[in-house]
Structure 1
Amino acid sequence: MATEDEGRPRGARLVLLILLVAQVMATMDNSIVAVATKTIKDDLQTSGAVLQLILSGYTLMFAVLVVTGARLGGDVGHRRLFMIGLTGFTASSLLCGIAPTAGTLVAARLLQGAFGAMMVPQVLSVIQIVFTGSARARAIGLYSMVLALGVAAGQIAGGVIVSADVLGSGWRAAFLVNVPIGLALLAAAPRYLPGHTPSSRFRPDIVGILLLAVSMGAVVAPLVFGREQGWPAWALASIAAGTAGLVLFVRYELRLGARGGQPVLEIDALRPRGVKSGLLACCILNFAFAGVLFPLTLHVQNGLGYTPLQAGLMFIPYPVGFAAVSLTWTRLPKRFHRPLPVAGLLVFALALAALAVVVAGGWPIAVVSALLLLAGAGMAAGFSTLVEQTAATVGPRYAAALSALVSTGTLLASVVSVVVVGGVYLATAENDPSRSALGLSRSLWVDAGLLMLGFLLAYRTWRLSTRVSAETAPSGDAAEQVEAVAAPGNAPPGEVDVEPATGPVEESSAPTGARSAPR
């Protein structure tokens, strides 16, 4: 990557703003639409099955194509794929907003998911390339906040948008709001996002792409639609076949990489110590988050009689706690950074356990709000720091692979959580609203228990990363040289200093200062 003064980037703040706004738009979209489902059903006279396609078709297409989108970004250019994805996402949002029939809306939602899968993986990849050091930690903290809180913020925004009924647009405003935002990003992105020059001839992994797409579809489709169908035999068979297909995919990708090919997912990104446990802990955090949001939303609407807007506003303490930690943890002394995820997962688990006890006996709003605030802070301390530590471990070389793994893992965790934890709630309270509090309490206990497993994984990640750091730490003159290079204005060619200025950033396919992942 060409830089100014051998390490001072130009326009990095604007790069981050463009990326995060795009991530917000994609992350919030599904939860905004979820709030609008009742009005969509009434207006278009849709069946329950079609409504499920409108809501979940986006998730299905995104899950099937996100890994391919991440790989294509690394091969043909992150800016190019980001622009294609953003253009398609904006256009399909417009199509959703003016859809005259339910069938048109379903098709537009599928297109939204496909183009979102091209756009979203480029966000973390470009952050990995443009930022280093403490600037990267801050950027990833903001990225993690957007990724984790988009769903909750979408529920609040969805309630406001649908209730406002601007110019009589009703549910259509939930989609049309993306259009002006997308157009503004399309105007700014070509100027500020880094370009890309492939270092070798692009050879698409067609077999890997098809095997992954079919396998992911076979797993995700029954998870999304199975409960509404009463978990028929085909759903369970599809999950089993898809899981077997994913195992075959991993084996094929490993063999292809060993032969010098270009696998769609570089499995080697998982080899550095602490990466696998760190990513699993991230997935558990997202599982728990979805496992709080889904049954809690059902409880306050079905059990307590809240409106969608009131339900969204009730959840505000959670994103406030998350944002407070995400925006400040990088200011802590560095010796606290590595153990912070361990503390975060423990706090998150204890907050949910306390909430499970409290809601079983009533709804003291002040106590519930305080525990939601604490839960959000705990999740931020775990998720933001784990993503940053994992990104630092794998380095820019595997930026595309890490982006694919984070996007896919967190998405699957959320989908599985809605099925499992949501199933616990619905099994208790679906036919008896008076048992809603009990159903929510049981769901929260499931989340808290799984978070304790995440706590152990985060502890393992901490110990492994500490060991790697001790083994690779320079000493004596070498340490002084490293400190000199790390000083502001002395970043190696291809790496970005902490303080960005203004103007466009340029990118090459292999930054000279990129560090390969430790083996």
Structure 2
Amino acid sequence: MATEDEGRPRGARLVLLILLVAQVMATMDNSIVAVATKTIKDDLQTSGAVLQLILSGYTLMFAVLVVTGARLGGDVGHRRLFMVGLTGFTASSLLCGIAPTAGTLVAARLLQGAFGAMMVPQVLSVIQIVFTGSARARAIGLYSMVLALGVAAGQIAGGVIVSADVLGSGWRAAFLVNVPIGLALLAAAPRYLPGHTPSSRFRPDIVGILLLAVSMGAVVAPLVFGREQGWPAWALASIAAGTAGLVLFVRYELRLGARGGQPVLEIDALRPRGVKSGLLACCILNFAFAGVLFPLTLHVQNGLGYTPLQAGLMFIPYPVGFAAVSLTWTRLPKRFHRPLPVAGLLVFALALAALAVVVAGGWPIAVVSALLLLAGAGMAAGFSTLVEQTAATVGPRYAAALSALVSTGTLLASVVSVVVVGGVYLATAENDPSRSALGLSRSLWVDAGLLMLGFLLAYRTWRLSTRVSAGTAPNGDAAEQVEAVAAPGNPPPGEVEVEPATGPVEESSAPTGARSAPR
């Protein structure tokens, strides 16, 4: 098979396009719907509690099932599970768009979240399989951009779609827009996405799946619904029980792996040095991003009187800055790649600190836009590079586990941020719009402070990864683990064999392109 230079096999652009468009649909969905909540409430005559289910049911189901989706993709086939998830996501989007009642819409949103959890983890996993070298770095940079900016882009797209009111569809167009896109992807995916033959030794970790699902649900449900209900006792008890369940889950998975079983989440993916600090820094970046987006959106609408569309357009400098860095950082000399996340987190923190000072005294739109541009660039320099470096450290062996950890960690960080940082804003300005600027300023200070912790974690990741690459990690652990991840002669128990896709990407015959398991 002909291949292109630097680790990108022939047909890889189409593979990446299919994957990223699917990721965009899933990531943007919630923020598009958030813009439409008022019209949904008026049209379907829903209560506040039902509206919260419509908005957050997707997030809840996604969080509960995403780790399971990642593991099943590795066991039964990434392409197969991607297709199942995409089919279900498209069908449930149609059901959302034609829902005659609020109850039907809630059920369809839950289905969307469940099928999204099957589809989304396969994106990073397939990128890890198809690309190598600098081509992988560029692909992961684009993936990171889509993952981080989908929420902001969704707000802009949601405002445009709902305001356009195409054929009188109103809020329904926010869901129906997924249908033609999903159908186009379903037509292309079987031809271009690589597939593999499932291992005959596959044994589903039923106990781990159930324990994780129940524990994640117990943590996420009160985070999503607790504030609206005044944080009742059940919410706090549920979070405590869910946290204990997650600790039990980790211990169970470690024991299962030690016995030669097939855990739903391979905790060993966290063992190489720098992975834990890198993932935690990624979570902090997403915490700060949600901690900017949520109070800023509330401020410009409640404090400044912007429409939803104006609010979305006001945020454009942020994704512009993010996209500019995400698309260009791989062209920098390689000696700058490892320290780039450290600089990015520092720039992000300083931009938000400056924004906190500026908004407390007014709303100079040019200054605000410039600082949002800088903040977006700082986040991209941190997030895109950290994801790429972490992926390179764990290698294709743990691609599914890393995908699950990134998806779950960033989602939980965003949910917690809305509770914590959103709580700071609402405690200041919920009953007094005149204090909105003060509430936003306080929220931004919280974000900036946490980003400084992320800065320290990114610095630690940089130092550890530098030691590993130089082969001087303490006791040789990290270097050995990174070698073991990539060593072709060391397949893990239950490894799967890769079979060629029916289209241009043929994993089994590309020495510098797609990766395949040893046969």
Would you say same fold, with TM above 0.5? yes
Q: How far does the alpha carbon of each residue in 1:260-289 deviate from its partner, in whole angstroms, 9 at most, with x for none?
A: 000000000000000000000000000000
- Identify which range, 499-508 or 320-329, moves more after superposition: 499-508
Q: Is the 8 A contact 1:32 1:154 kept in 2?
A: yes
Q: Is the 8 A contact 2:198 2:497 kept in 1?
A: no
CA distance in 2, matches of 1:340, 1:7: 23
Which structure 2 residues correspond to residues 332-481 of structure 1 after superposition, within 5 A?
332-471=332-471
Q: Using the TM superposition, give the Cα deviation of residue 300 of structure 1 relative to its aligned residue in structure 2, in angstroms.
A: 0.1
C-alpha spacing 1:425/1:499, structure 2 compared with 1 (3 Å): farther
Q: Is the 8 A contact 2:273 2:478 kept in 1?
A: no
Q: Is the 8 A contact 1:198 1:508 kept in 2?
A: no
Q: Is the 8 A contact 2:87 2:186 kept in 1?
A: yes
C-alpha spacing 1:184/1:518, structure 2 compared with 1 (3 Å): closer
CA distance in 1, matches of 2:409, 2:214: 17
Q: Using the TM superposition, give the Cα deviation of residue 488 of structure 1 relative to its aligned residue in structure 2, in angstroms.
A: 20
CA distance in 2, matches of 1:7, 1:337: 18
Q: Using the TM superposition, give the Cα deviation of residue 486 of structure 1 relative to its aligned residue in structure 2, in angstroms.
A: 14
Q: How far does the alpha carbon of each residue in 1:84-142 deviate from its partner, in whole angstroms, 9 at most, with x for none?
A: 00000000000000000000000000000000000000000000000010000000000
Q: Is the 8 A contact 1:429 1:439 kept in 2?
A: yes
For 2:3, what is the secondary structure of its paired residue? coil
Q: How far does the alpha carbon of each residue in 1:200-235 deviate from its partner, in whole angstroms, 9 at most, with x for none?
A: 421000000000000000000000000000000000
Q: Is the 8 A contact 1:394 1:517 kept in 2?
A: no
Q: How far does the alpha carbon of each residue in 1:50-72 deviate from its partner, in whole angstroms, 9 at most, with x for none?
A: 00000000000000000000000
Q: Is the 8 A contact 1:321 1:373 kept in 2?
A: yes
Q: Using the TM superposition, give the Cα deviation of residue 484 of structure 1 relative to its aligned residue in structure 2, in angstroms.
A: 21
Q: Is the 8 A contact 2:277 2:460 kept in 1?
A: yes
C-alpha spacing 1:482/1:251, structure 2 compared with 1 (3 Å): closer
C-alpha spacing 1:329/1:487, structure 2 compared with 1 (3 Å): farther
CA distance in 2, matches of 1:230, 1:473: 49
CA distance in 2, matches of 1:28, 1:157: 9
C-alpha spacing 1:33/1:464, structure 2 compared with 1 (3 Å): same
CA distance in 2, matches of 1:478, 1:31: 39
Q: Using the TM superposition, give the Cα deviation of residue 512 of structure 1 relative to its aligned residue in structure 2, in angstroms.
A: 11
Q: Is the 8 A contact 1:224 1:415 kept in 2?
A: yes
Q: Is the 8 A contact 2:215 2:243 kept in 1?
A: yes
Q: Using the TM superposition, give the Cα deviation of residue 10 of structure 1 relative to its aligned residue in structure 2, in angstroms.
A: 2.9
For 2:306, what is the secondary structure of its paired residue? coil
Q: Is the 8 A contact 1:8 1:491 kept in 2?
A: no
C-alpha spacing 1:161/1:500, structure 2 compared with 1 (3 Å): farther
Structure 1 spans left out of the alignment, 5+ residues: none
Q: How far does the alpha carbon of each residue in 1:241-276 deviate from its partner, in whole angstroms, 9 at most, with x for none?
A: 000000000000000000000000000000000000
Q: Is the 8 A contact 1:132 1:495 kept in 2?
A: no
For 1:490, what is the secondary structure of its paired residue? coil
For 1:246, what is the secondary structure of its paired residue? helix
C-alpha spacing 1:65/1:297, structure 2 compared with 1 (3 Å): same
CA distance in 2, matches of 1:21, 1:299: 31
Q: Using the TM superposition, give the Cα deviation of residue 516 of structure 1 relative to its aligned residue in structure 2, in angstroms.
A: 13
Q: How far does the alpha carbon of each residue in 1:301-343 deviate from its partner, in whole angstroms, 9 at most, with x for none?
A: 0000000000000000000000000000000000000000000
Q: Is the 8 A contact 1:7 1:494 kept in 2?
A: no
C-alpha spacing 1:415/1:509, structure 2 compared with 1 (3 Å): farther
Q: How far does the alpha carbon of each residue in 1:418-456 deviate from its partner, in whole angstroms, 9 at most, with x for none?
A: 000000000000000000000000000000000000000
C-alpha spacing 1:297/1:497, structure 2 compared with 1 (3 Å): farther
C-alpha spacing 1:80/1:505, structure 2 compared with 1 (3 Å): same
CA distance in 1, matches of 2:202, 2:368: 53
CA distance in 1, matches of 2:374, 2:83: 38
CA distance in 1, matches of 2:407, 2:316: 24
CA distance in 2, matches of 1:247, 1:152: 33
Q: Is the 8 A contact 1:495 1:514 kept in 2?
A: no
Q: How far does the alpha carbon of each residue in 1:449-503 deviate from its partner, in whole angstroms, 9 at most, with x for none?
A: 0000000000000000000011179999999999999999999999999999994
Q: Using the TM superposition, give the Cα deviation of residue 9 of structure 1 relative to its aligned residue in structure 2, in angstroms.
A: 2.4
Structure 2 spans left out of the alignment, 5+ residues: none
Q: Using the TM superposition, give the Cα deviation of residue 505 of structure 1 relative to its aligned residue in structure 2, in angstroms.
A: 1.9
CA distance in 2, matches of 1:233, 1:2: 62
C-alpha spacing 1:47/1:333, structure 2 compared with 1 (3 Å): same
CA distance in 2, matches of 1:100, 1:77: 36
For 1:476, what is the secondary structure of its paired residue? helix
Q: Using the TM superposition, give the Cα deviation of residue 369 of structure 1 relative to its aligned residue in structure 2, in angstroms.
A: 0.1
Q: Is the 8 A contact 2:162 2:170 kept in 1?
A: yes
Q: Using the TM superposition, give the Cα deviation of residue 182 of structure 1 relative to its aligned residue in structure 2, in angstroms.
A: 0.0
CA distance in 1, matches of 2:347, 2:5: 44
C-alpha spacing 1:402/1:309, structure 2 compared with 1 (3 Å): same
Q: Is the 8 A contact 2:35 2:155 kept in 1?
A: yes
CA distance in 2, matches of 1:236, 1:474: 41
CA distance in 2, matches of 1:59, 1:113: 6
Q: Is the 8 A contact 2:61 2:113 kept in 1?
A: yes
Q: Is the 8 A contact 1:3 1:494 kept in 2?
A: no
Q: Is the 8 A contact 1:296 1:440 kept in 2?
A: yes
Q: Using the TM superposition, give the Cα deviation of residue 199 of structure 1 relative to its aligned residue in structure 2, in angstroms.
A: 3.5
Q: Using the TM superposition, give the Cα deviation of residue 514 of structure 1 relative to its aligned residue in structure 2, in angstroms.
A: 9.6
Q: Using the TM superposition, give the Cα deviation of residue 506 of structure 1 relative to its aligned residue in structure 2, in angstroms.
A: 3.5
Q: Is the 8 A contact 2:344 2:380 kept in 1?
A: yes
For 1:439, what is the secondary structure of its paired residue? helix
Q: Is the 8 A contact 2:18 2:188 kept in 1?
A: yes
Q: Is the 8 A contact 1:65 1:114 kept in 2?
A: yes
For 2:9, what is the secondary structure of its paired residue? coil
CA distance in 1, matches of 2:127, 2:360: 43
Q: Is the 8 A contact 1:9 1:496 kept in 2?
A: no
Equivalent in the alignment of 1:61: 61
Q: Is the 8 A contact 2:192 2:501 kept in 1?
A: no
C-alpha spacing 1:515/1:258, structure 2 compared with 1 (3 Å): farther
Equivalent in the alignment of 1:82: 82
For 2:108, what is the secondary structure of its paired residue? helix
- Identify which range, 339-348 or 466-475, moves more after superposition: 466-475
> Quick check: 1:123 aligned with 2:116?
no
C-alpha spacing 1:200/1:492, structure 2 compared with 1 (3 Å): closer
Q: Is the 8 A contact 1:394 1:516 kept in 2?
A: no
Q: Using the TM superposition, give the Cα deviation of residue 11 of structure 1 relative to its aligned residue in structure 2, in angstroms.
A: 1.2
Q: Is the 8 A contact 2:194 2:505 kept in 1?
A: yes
Q: Is the 8 A contact 1:425 1:442 kept in 2?
A: yes
Equivalent in the alignment of 2:52: 52
C-alpha spacing 1:507/1:199, structure 2 compared with 1 (3 Å): farther
CA distance in 1, matches of 2:315, 2:498: 35
* TM-score, normalised via structure 1 length: 0.92
Q: Using the TM superposition, give the Cα deviation of residue 504 of structure 1 relative to its aligned residue in structure 2, in angstroms.
A: 2.6
Q: Is the 8 A contact 1:69 1:118 kept in 2?
A: yes
CA distance in 1, matches of 2:118, 2:87: 10
For 1:228, what is the secondary structure of its paired residue? helix
Question: Could you list the runs of 4 or more consecutive aligned residues of structure 1 that deviate by over 6 angstroms after TM superposition?
Answer: 1-8, 472-502, 508-519
C-alpha spacing 1:200/1:464, structure 2 compared with 1 (3 Å): farther
